[in-house]
Amino acid sequence: MNLPNIISELVKAQTQFDSHAYADCFTETAVVFDEGKTHNGKTEIQNWIDTANKEYKTVMKPLDYNEKENILSAEISGTFPGSPVVLKYHFELSDGFIESLRITG
């Protein structure tokens, strides 16, 4: 699967539970939409993923990438009810970074 470099970096950071490296994949003004909540800017994104990593130990396994739509389908496993699940990561990219990420079931 041929992922854009920044999405590969995001997957790697998630697999290593590295919230700082995860947040560094985003622009300063990026927005993440997940589970009905919005996280604005790198600091909020880092705090969100750090909390999620500690609570759920989530690991991403990429399954498919739609280049035209910038949508990554990934199997997500961890210590949460119903694990594993397949989620879709809808990306908007800007200058080699993630500007927006919406995670859906």
Mean predicted lDDT score pLDDT of the chain = 96
Q: Render pLDDT for 72-102 as a digit per residue (tens, 0 to 9).
A: 999 999 999 999 999 999 999 999 999 999 9
Alpha-carbon distance of 27 to 56, in angstroms, equals: 25
Which among 101, 96, 2, 97 is positioned nearest to 49, based on CA atoms? 101
What was the pLDDT predicted at 53? Answer: 92
Q: What is the CA radius of gyration of the chain?
A: 12
Domains of the chain as residue ranges with CATH: 5-104 (3.10.450.50)
User: What's residue 21's pLDDT?
Assistant: 98
- Which pLDDT belongs to residue 1? 83
Specify the pTM.
0.93
Q: How far is CA 24 from CA 10, 21, 28, 42, in A?
A: 9, 5, 9, 7
Asked if residues 103 and 33 have their Cβ atoms less than 8 Å apart, the reply is yes
Separation of alpha carbons 13 and 22, rounded Å: 5
* 8-state DSSP, 80: S
* Three-class DSSP category at 95: coil
